[in-house]
Structure 1
Amino acid sequence: MRILVVGATGLLGSEIVKLLAAEHDIVTASRKGSDLHVDLSDKRSIESMYTQTGTLDAIVCAAGSAKFAPLATLADEDFSFSLANKLMGQVNLVRCGAAHISQGGCFTLTSGVLAQQPMEGSAAVSIVNAGVEAFARSAALELRGKARVNVVSPGWVAETLESMGRDPSQGVPAAIVAQAYKRSLGGSASGEVIDAS
């Protein structure tokens, strides 16, 4: 398979690339350090990336940012940033990518545990993650017969917890989370939220 991995230089993205590279032709995309440059918050950047990829069998997104902060301190700009980046960025990966994916191809997006298990400070992140999941379910219906659309929902990633000074044993190593993306590519499911915790 020819697979585009967006966010390929990040923690999860690099593990996904490592896992898939032995069996597949991988094209990497990120803000820097990849085969292709892409800014998820800019639809034109996504369109430009796709003009360079040619036809793809799968598109995996392990990118997207959202603001984590107490509700009282979140400004309109924080919500706008989160919605434009992690939510609309992934929505546009599918919308723009539908013309570049082969028949029977697969999109795999990323949400997160805060969609179902919010915590203090997660208002913007939770709304974005839940939106990604709702979009994927709907897009799967629209693209039925053309392409599958799934979402991986990671829990806390061990390496992220460690970087925050928290106990990494409460999370799942990124290499294990990457296996969920491989399951999405290899299965027949569409419109599914795959729990990677």
Structure 2
Amino acid sequence: MKILIIGGKGTIGNKVTSYFSEKNEVLIAGRTSGDVTVDIADSTSIENLFKQTGKLDAIVCIAGEAKWADFNDLTEEDYYIGLKSKLMGQVNLVRIGQHFLNPGGSITLSTGVLADDPVVKTASAAMVNGGIHSFVQAAALEIENGIRLNVVSLELVIDAYEKYKDYFQGHTPISMEKAVNAYVRSIMGKGNGEVIRVYN
């Protein structure tokens, strides 16, 4: 398979890339580094990305940002960061990327536990994650050419625990193996329109 992993050098992306690179052709895309570069907040950049990759069998996005701040400190512009990057960035990857997939290909997006179990300072991030869940379930009903569309929603992963543990007090981080297996299930399985939750 020819697989594009956007965010393939990140904490989770690195492990997913390592797994799939053993038996597949994997292209890594990042904002400033990788085999190809892309700014998912810019639809023109996404179009240029796919012109470089050519036809693919799977598209995986483990990227996108959103502002974390106290609710009363979040401005309208702060919300647009997540809306343009993590939400519309991933929506545009599906909207544009579907035309660069071989029949029967797949697209996997990424969110997180905040959609269902938010913590403080995540009003924007939680909103965006929940929106992606609804988008995937709806768009999967109409996407053509046998293309499957899923989203992986993970609890805090063990490799990011030290960085985020003060936000996620009382949460039990999941292993990197469980995180990778969620992406394996989406890419290699037959599910469509699924929110693949791995919270414990």
TM-score bucket of the superposed structures, by smaller chain: over 0.9
TM-score by length of 1: 0.95
1:1-197 aligned at under 5 Å gives the runs 1-164=1-164, 166=166, 170-197=172-199
Q: CA RMSD in A?
A: 1.6
- SS of 2:178 mapped into structure 1: helix
Deviation at 1:196, TM superposition (A): 2.3
* Number of positions where the alignment pairs a residue of Structure 1 with one of Structure 2: 197
Deviation at 1:172, TM superposition (A): 1.4
Deviation at 1:174, TM superposition (A): 3.1
Deviations along 1:102-156, whole A, 9 cap, x unmatched? 1010000001111111222111011100111111111111115430000000111
Q: Percent identity?
A: 40
Is the CA contact 1:86–1:128 (under 8 Å) kept in the aligned structure 2? Answer: yes
TM-score by length of 2: 0.93
Is the CA contact 1:162–1:168 (under 8 Å) kept in the aligned structure 2? Answer: no
C-alpha distance in structure 2 between counterparts of 1:174 and 1:33, whole Å: 23
Deviation at 1:194, TM superposition (A): 0.5
1:192 is matched by which residue type in structure 2?
Answer: E
2:123 is matched by which residue type in structure 1?
Answer: A
C-alpha distance in structure 2 between counterparts of 1:112 and 1:169, whole Å: 13
1:160 is matched by which residue type in structure 2?
Answer: A
Gaps of 5+ in 1: none
Gaps of 5+ in 2: none
- SS of 2:141 mapped into structure 1: helix
Is the CA contact 1:16–1:175 (under 8 Å) kept in the aligned structure 2? Answer: no
- SS of 2:148 mapped into structure 1: strand
C-alpha distance in structure 2 between counterparts of 1:180 and 1:142, whole Å: 23
Is the CA contact 1:159–1:168 (under 8 Å) kept in the aligned structure 2? Answer: no
